[in-house]
Structure 1
Amino acid sequence: MSSRSRLMTLIVAGAAVVVAAALALTLTLNRPKDAPRPDPVAATVPVELKAEGLPKNFSIGVVLTLGQSGEPGSEFNRAAQGAIVAAQRFAQGGAAVALSAQNDGGTEDGARAAVRALAEQGASGVVVATTGPQARAAAKTAEELGLPVILPYAQPSDPVQTTWTTVPSGVSAEAALQTALNGKNRVLLVVDGGEIPPSVGIAQTLSLDGFEQVTDLAQEAAIQTGDQLRPPAEGAPAGAESTRVAEPADAVVVSAATPQRLARLVQALQSRDVSVPVVIPVGATAPAFASTLSELDGAASGQLVSVAPAGGDAAALQQDAQGRGMSAFLSAVRLASGDPEVKNLTDDAPFSADAWAADSGSHDAVVALVRAAALAGSGDPSKVGVALRTMSFGPGEGLAGPGLDFSRSGALTAETVPVYASSQDLGLRPPDEDAPRLVWVPAPAPATP
């Protein structure tokens, strides 16, 4: 079978899967039907992407934090494989995009060295696919070297004209958190080294530092939510009964230093049958949270709530431009996964091993840099940065996620909303028995009168 025939077969098969998944998710979420809206984007978005004017030998650098033991910053290594999908889509359209990855070692010095190495290799721009201090150090070094830099998973410190982030602003994330907790008056915070949401009214805090084991913390949390009885105190009279707290918490906010530790807290709460909503402001949408929760036999249930821009795999089921953009991206994921010659960013494993986690954030960062270089007609980093500052993108330009406006450092245009965990297999990615089943779905839009 020719490459073109194989591509068409996969696209047709993918379209059938999307239709079946759309019906299943619609029934599950009881989503009301939306009225048709005018849409300037074509009825289909092609898998292949073209970039006329892109200079030859164009390359983009990617900074990663490698590690398998929960190192801070490594939680997005698999998500960052979306960059591979973008490069493959441009290759199908006749535009060669080389990707070069550097490991920052999880340190600020390592991040600076990684960016310098990419500059020496001739990168026209950098995608910093990590978080924390090393992400900020990498961005700062790129600024100093005149390299345009996009951070799909972190906020830079004091960004200049050549630095952008595509994560939600703090204000937007806080507003979504407030929406998720609307009507909750007795919020319990469970924390393991994570940040405390500044604007949330916390009635009580339980920190893992105050308990010998995470199971002990979870038991106390279950008592505070009224899901477990408090046993009689030591030395209580014989026959004393267990008691229930008078004013139980009506929601639990969970915060941890890493997604892996976050998953451990969530699974412990689930094991104690905590029944109130468990709200996770930061870290739950990282692939490392999903994989760790699965390894611990935790459940991806609608009880789990996070905040994120409306998007993700579930967006492919929408009958609008963003839905078509995400559908095209997921078709490209399936296509790349089916080709054993397509490797991951570090070129040491097939892309298919990470296909379940490759996300739109890294993909769209590469799309933006390629579009800017094509507009500039040059791979000169300074020209690419100047061009990108004048541009905005949506599904029509090949984005899979929400729209981006690079006239401002915070390029994301979509608002953050509460999203709910589901274990439903949408059937939109290549089958993988080892992949965790966790998809974040926005709440259905309210029905119009």
Structure 2
Amino acid sequence: MSSHTRLTTLIVAGITVVLAAAIALTTLALSRPKEASRPDPVAATVPVALKAEGLPKDFSIGVVLTLGQSGEPGSEYNRAAQGAIVAAQRFAQGGAAVALSAQNDRGTEDGARAAVRALAEQGASGVIVATAGAQARAAAKTAEELGLPVILPYAEPSDPAQATWTTGPSGASVAAGLRTALDGKNRVLLVGDGGEVPASVGISQTLNLDGFDDVTGLAQEAAIQTGAQLRPPAEDAPAGAGSTRVAEPADAVVVSAATPQRLARLVQALQSRDVSVPVVIPDGATAPAFASTLAELDGAASGQLVSVAPAGGDATALQQDAQGRGMSAFLSAVRLASGDPKVQNLTGDAPFSADAWAADARSHDAVVALVRAAASAGSGEPSKVGAALRAMSFGPGDGLAGPELDFSRSAALTAEAIPVYASPQDLGLRPPDEAAPRLVWVPAPANP
């Protein structure tokens, strides 16, 4: 089969999948507030192939990753960052070559500095820091010192320079979204394992893992405090004493942990003790590592789980608006890239298809932004790319899959974080993968 015939077949198959998914998703019945109609300047469809006239030859973007298979902080975004591959493939289809070069920061600040320096020596026009924590901030600072424009999709830089941007939600936005998720809850229990929770959130009681022998003991006490379990009588209680229920049980649980993997362990433990109140997770739950770890532990992706994120997940492809069409085009590109065995992941050691279930819009949109800036500048010189990007903003019509981005400010994301709800529904918008976890975040819980 020729490459043209294969591409045509994949596109037809993709359209069929989308139509089937749209029919299936009528059962999901997401509750969305009605919005007033407004002009929509984006075409009825957003093309999969993206053009970038004026993009210089040999244009390259560096990507900093934290590699590891043991839950190293920052490594939770390795699979999400494969969205960068999707963007490069879309531009290739439109006739613009975009080279991606990845460097491992080894999970350390020194490693992050070395990774950025290596990318600068390779001639990268800009850098995407696809990790989090201290090493992400170190990478951003080094890029600033070297004059490289840098985008952080998953972290906030400290004291960002003019050519440093984050495209994730701000801490203030996450705190506001968390308060919305807990609206009406008066007795909030915090269950923690090294994570942080915004100070503005009212917490009535805190249970930390370091105060228990193991996660099972922590989950049992959380179940008692929420009324899901009775407290057994004390060892020195009088004969015949029965189990008791707490007088004022918690009406919600906030779960926080240092990594998504540890977060998933806490959530699964709470589920195993039948905790039935809303379990709200302010950070880490939307990372692919949370979904995969929860699935490995046989945890459930139910509407009881609530996280906080901007509305930019797969479910937005179902919306009849510009953002919906942008996300739909992105997911079509994910399917096309997954169907081509020649397309490799960022590190070139595995096919892209292995990570297609997790490739996200944030890393994709970071590539789109840097490419658009270089094309506008007509140069791959880092200072010119950064200067051009600083005067630009983008939306679905420019090829974004997620919310609009305004690079005239260091916090480029224009959308606010909102409560999102876990669902095991297979939307059918990504390539079939039996090994992929079944968890998607939707902006409203499904009706019972």
TM-score (norm 1): 0.97
**Residues 6-85 of structure 1: matches in 2 within 5 Å?**
6-31=6-31, 37-85=38-86
Do structure 1's residue 243 and structure 2's residue 244 form an aligned pair?
A: yes
What CA distance in whole angstroms lies between the structure 1 residues aligned with 2:30 and 2:171? 31
Query: Residue type of the partner of 1:18?
Result: V
Q: How big is the shift at 1:35?
A: 6.5
**Residues 198-213 of structure 1: matches in 2 within 5 Å?**
198-213=199-214
What CA distance in whole angstroms lies between the structure 2 residues aligned with 1:223 and 1:44? 52
Q: How big is the shift at 1:311?
A: 1.2
Secondary structure, in 3 states, of the residue corresponding to 1:367?
helix
Match of 2:264 in 1: 263
Secondary structure, in 3 states, of the residue corresponding to 2:246?
coil
Query: Residue type of the partner of 2:314?
Result: D
Structure 1's 196 and 444: CA in aligned 2 closer, same or farther, altered over 3 A?
Answer: closer
Q: How big is the shift at 1:170?
A: 1.2
Q: How big is the shift at 1:17?
A: 2.1
Match of 1:342 in 2: 343
What CA distance in whole angstroms lies between the structure 1 residues aligned with 2:80 and 2:131? 10
Match of 1:129 in 2: 130
- The percentage of aligned residue pairs carrying the same residue is 86
What CA distance in whole angstroms lies between the structure 1 residues aligned with 2:376 and 2:181? 41
Query: Residue type of the partner of 1:128?
Result: V
Do structure 1's residue 273 and structure 2's residue 286 form an aligned pair?
A: no
Q: How big is the shift at 1:39?
A: 1.1
Q: How big is the shift at 1:191?
A: 0.2
Aligned-pair Cα RMSD in Å: 1.4
Q: Deviations over 1:335-374 (max 9, x none)?
A: 1111111100000011011011000000000000000000
Contact 1:18/1:317 (CA < 8 Å) preserved in 2? no
What CA distance in whole angstroms lies between the structure 2 residues aligned with 1:236 and 1:196? 37
Match of 1:253 in 2: 254
Contact 2:303/2:445 (CA < 8 Å) preserved in 1? no
**Residues 7-406 of structure 1: matches in 2 within 5 Å?**
7-31=7-31, 37-406=38-407
Contact 2:421/2:445 (CA < 8 Å) preserved in 1? no
What CA distance in whole angstroms lies between the structure 1 residues aligned with 2:30 and 2:195? 35
Contact 2:421/2:442 (CA < 8 Å) preserved in 1? yes
Query: Residue type of the partner of 2:119?
Result: L
Structure 1's 253 and 35: CA in aligned 2 closer, same or farther, altered over 3 A?
Answer: same
Match of 1:2 in 2: 2
Aligned positions, number: 446
Contact 2:279/2:304 (CA < 8 Å) preserved in 1? yes
Q: How big is the shift at 1:171?
A: 1.3
What CA distance in whole angstroms lies between the structure 1 residues aligned with 2:298 and 2:165? 37
Contact 1:193/1:257 (CA < 8 Å) preserved in 2? yes
What CA distance in whole angstroms lies between the structure 1 residues aligned with 2:200 and 2:20? 41
Contact 1:18/1:316 (CA < 8 Å) preserved in 2? no
User: Which ranges in structure 1 are unaligned for 5 or more consecutive residues?
Assistant: none
Contact 2:197/2:282 (CA < 8 Å) preserved in 1? no
What CA distance in whole angstroms lies between the structure 2 residues aligned with 1:184 and 1:157? 33
Q: Deviations over 1:225-268 (max 9, x none)?
A: 00000000111111111000000000000000000000000000
Query: Residue type of the partner of 2:290?
Result: F
Q: Deviations over 1:387-425 (max 9, x none)?
A: 000000001000000000000000000111100000000
Q: How big is the shift at 1:7?
A: 2.6
What CA distance in whole angstroms lies between the structure 2 residues aligned with 1:7 and 1:39? 30
Contact 1:168/1:415 (CA < 8 Å) preserved in 2? yes
Secondary structure, in 3 states, of the residue corresponding to 1:202?
coil
TM-score (norm 2): 0.97
What CA distance in whole angstroms lies between the structure 2 residues aligned with 1:154 and 1:124? 20
